Amino acid sequence: MGVSASLFGLHDLLQREVGRTQYEAYESGKYNTGRKIVYSSDEGNILWTLCCWRRSNQNHTNTRKLMKLAKTVLGGTLFDLLMKSSFYGHFVAGEDRHKIVPTLERLRSFGVKPILDYSVEEDLSQEEAEKREVESSVSSAGDVKEDDAMPQYHVDKSFADRRYKVNSARTYFYLNEATCERNMETFIKCLEAVSGATFGTGITAIKLTALGRPQLLLQLSEVIMRTRKYMEDMVGGQGNVLTHHKTIKDLEKYYASLGDNKNVQDFLKNVTSDKEGILHLFPWSGIVDEDSQLSDTFRVPDPKTGQMRRLISQIPPKEEEMFRNMIRRLNTIVKTAAELDVRIMIDAEQTYFQPAISRITLEMMRKYNKEKAIVFNTYQCYLREAFREVNTDLEQAKRQDFYFGAKLVRGAYMEQERARAQALGYPDPVNPSYEATTEMYHKTLTECLRRIKILKDNGEDAKKIGIMVASHNEDTVRYAIEKMKEIGISPEDKVICFGQLLGMCDYITFPLGQAGYSAYKYIPYGPVQEVLPYLSRRAQENKGVLKKIQKEKRLLLAEIRRRLMRGQLFYKPKGNYVPI
Ligand SMILES: Cc1cc2nc3c(=O)[nH]c(=O)nc-3n(C[C@H](O)[C@H](O)[C@H](O)COP(=O)(O)OP(=O)(O)OC[C@H]3O[C@@H](n4cnc5c(N)ncnc54)[C@H](O)[C@@H]3O)c2cc1C
């Protein structure tokens, strides 16, 4: 009863907000089942998912072993068949770009668009994963820790297996440059699949850790955080350089005691600023466009001696080249997305990579989001700094005049982040409670909506800010809809969209799509055997997710009962959504 009440609360809201006409279409027979809850999977998938979805006392390795055993007993073909009609069939769209088409069409019939994610993951043991991660996280020159080194940006073997306590996110472990090259090609195929199957409305998800050596992301993240510290020491206050609103004149004053120093003059030549103050201390555009060396770029004059001081330890030429490769791969992917007119979403990962991922993504936005949002960043609202980060990036987009695209999530790595912070002795980056995370999410979303409204009121293109509310939380979806209404942003403005994972919370996604909101499913695809490592983690969700799953289970059971009573034993739901 409680389930239905809150569920129908969202439905009632959709009905009120989008008007009776569209909602009636959805409520009436046009919705095909004549019911409010629809699941896109067929019976086998639902039943098996219900059976498999439980809190397993076993760890991921054991689940994987169990799956391997099942494969040995059943043989490859039978095992694949079993998976396709069960867990795989519920959470994964198909094996390749052709096999996923029926799922995409079924979703389209309900007004739902895809975010494609090629979900192949290497089947590594914990030992292998740790070994690879440690090897690829340290420079061949050694793990140099400067005096003010930050422990979070240095690899630690006990947390080197990044899959630790992470169920829903896919993880890449660096092997060599050739694998990163292959990953790039895969992402490009994914873009082509999205472009072909969705007529430009779909999105491709990518992870930056698939495209290069983690060491470079770690070093770049540390340098970004050390720059902030340098700026704080220089001018006081907190946060990104841009938030300080200092001018070049302020910097000149700061170095005044050094007289006419050539180092300072050269350094200041590369500082980017506008009338509101300094945007960047370093030439980021050079880093993503040209061949500037990381070791040469991140140097600042010492305010006491005038000597140039490195904020990043010396990187050997071969590793500099690897960094260039990573940026080249990303440029190739984003350029292809722009040519195909498909959007690209860069996933957020662990906090020790995030400053680099976010910075590089923002530079890609500056470069490619000139006329529309092609590149989307991801912000994790479980982070204490989330609001400040989003606000600063929105500010940069405004000042440098590019389209800002963001996916807002709560965050998938909480337990790992907390355990690592505690073990390595740095402050926990995650909000102290679930409520604080929710408040952070809602506050950040409200700020985005507020800025969109200002754009609308000023007669500017409201699409300069595009936000995806990526959450399975009904209250958050309801909050977004209510705030849109309150602030004056309609679904037709197409600036806010919603996203849930395939196989989860269809009862939220489909009514949204049917009611004219921009609704997306995050869709994993890939060959059965190669998606299994990811699936075996999905099979044992953690306690928090499990609470939600209880509700999902009740709804799935209700759907199965309903179909049985109607004699719809081999039923494939199909909507008749007509784009508004
Ligand atoms: C389309 C889509 C794309 C996604 N992409 C990413 C991505 O790129 N990167 C990423 O990290 N995640 C991503 N996620 C996962 C997301 O971050 C969440 O883990 C997941 O969606 C659960 O959050 P929720 O809002 O759906 O549900 P809820 O159940 O409302 O929230 C659960 C979340 O709240 C937070 N939380 C729980 N307990 C506490 C606590 N005690 N203190 C503080 N915070 C707490 C955690 O983040 C937890 O995952 C994505 C999810 C979706 C649907």
DSSP secondary structure, 119-186, as one string: -------HHHHHHHHHHHHS-TT-----TT--GGGS--GGG--TTTT--SS-------HHHHHHHHHH
Report which of residues 68 and 21 the model is more confident about: 68
Asked whether the whole model's pTM tops 0.85, one would answer yes
| DSSP bridge pairs for 498 | 469, 519
Mean pLDDT of 503-521: 89
Residues with CB under 6 A from ligand 1: 168-169, 347-348, 378, 380, 382, 409-414, 430-431, 433-434, 437, 470-473, 476, 499-501, 522, 544, 548
Other CB atoms within a 10 A radius of the CB of residue 76 amount to: 11
Report which of residues 570 and 341 the model is more confident about: 341
Q: What confidence tier does 26 reach under pLDDT thresholds 50, 70, 90?
A: very low
Q: How far is the CA of 408 from the centre of ligand 1 (A)?
A: 9
| Predicted pLDDT at 368 | 96
Report which of residues 187 and 575 the model is more confident about: 187
List CB contacts of 59: < 8 A, sequence separation 6 or more: none
| Predicted pLDDT at 53 | 53
* pLDDT exceeds 50 at position 236: yes
Which residue's CA is the nearest one to ligand 1's atom 28?
473
pLDDT, mean over the chain: 83
Mean pLDDT of 542-564: 62
User: How much of the chain is helix, strand and coil, in % rounded to 5?
Assistant: 55, 10, 35
- Cα–Cα distance for residue pair 452/446, rounded to 1 Å: 10
- Cα–Cα distance for residue pair 61/58, rounded to 1 Å: 8
Residue 133: Cβ-neighbour burial (10 angstroms; 0-12, 13-18, 19+): buried
CA distances from 367 to 220, 257, 289, 316, 323 (A): 20, 38, 9, 28, 18
Q: What DSSP designation does 270 have?
A: T
* pLDDT exceeds 70 at position 556: no
Q: How far is the CA of 410 from the centre of ligand 1 (A)?
A: 4
Ligand 1 atom closest to Cα of residue 409 = 17
Q: What confidence tier does 482 reach under pLDDT thresholds 50, 70, 90?
A: very high
Mean pLDDT of 28-35: 37
Ligand 1 atom closest to Cα of residue 548 = 29
Which residue's CA is the nearest one to ligand 1's atom 2?
470
Q: What confidence tier does 565 reach under pLDDT thresholds 50, 70, 90?
A: confident
Give the residue, out of 410, 433, 501, 512, with the most ligand 1 atoms within 8 A of its beta carbon, to mutate for a pocket test.
Answer: 410
Q: How far is the CA of 502 from the centre of ligand 1 (A)?
A: 15
| Predicted pLDDT at 410 | 97
* pLDDT exceeds 90 at position 2: no
Asked if 533 and 524 count as a contact pair (C-beta separation under 8 A), the reply is no
Which residue's CA is the nearest one to ligand 1's atom 15?
412
Ligand 1 atom closest to Cα of residue 378 = 8
Report which listed range, 46-60, 184-198, 295-309, 458-472, is most confident: 458-472
| 450, two tokens | 């507020």
- Cα–Cα distance for residue pair 122/534, rounded to 1 Å: 9
- The CA-based angle 319-534-138, given to 5 degrees, is 20
* pLDDT exceeds 60 at position 372: yes
Could you tell me what percent of the chain has a pLDDT over 90?
47
Q: How far is the CA of 50 from the centre of ligand 1 (A)?
A: 22
Mean pLDDT of 149-166: 90
Which residue's CA is the nearest one to ligand 1's atom 31?
410
Helix, strand, or coil (residue 518): strand
Q: How far is the CA of 34 from the centre of ligand 1 (A)?
A: 32
Report which of residues 141 and 265 the model is more confident about: 265
Which residue's CA is the nearest one to ligand 1's atom 9?
348
- Cα–Cα distance for residue pair 439/434, rounded to 1 Å: 9
Q: What confidence tier does 57 reach under pLDDT thresholds 50, 70, 90?
A: very low
Q: How far is the CA of 168 from the centre of ligand 1 (A)?
A: 9
| Predicted pLDDT at 246 | 84
Could you tell me what percent of the chain has a pLDDT over 70?
80
Tell me the pLDDT tens digit for each residue of 199-220: 667 899 999 999 999 999 999 9
Q: How far is the CA of 330 from the centre of ligand 1 (A)?
A: 25
Which residue's CA is the nearest one to ligand 1's atom 51?
470
Q: How far is the CA of 381 from the centre of ligand 1 (A)?
A: 8
Q: What confidence tier does 18 reach under pLDDT thresholds 50, 70, 90?
A: very low
| Predicted pLDDT at 216 | 93
Report which of residues 567 and 415 the model is more confident about: 415
Q: How far is the CA of 354 from the centre of ligand 1 (A)?
A: 16
| Predicted pLDDT at 490 | 93
Other CB atoms within a 10 A radius of the CB of residue 69 amount to: 10
* pLDDT exceeds 50 at position 21: no
Ligand 1 atom closest to Cα of residue 436 = 43
Q: How far is the CA of 411 from the centre of ligand 1 (A)?
A: 4
Give the residue, out of 347, 409, 501, with the most ligand 1 atoms within 8 A of its beta carbon, to mutate for a pocket test.
Answer: 409
Asked if 323 and 298 count as a contact pair (C-beta separation under 8 A), the reply is no
Q: How far is the CA of 309 from the centre of ligand 1 (A)?
A: 39
| Predicted pLDDT at 87 | 77
Which residue's CA is the nearest one to ligand 1's atom 44?
434
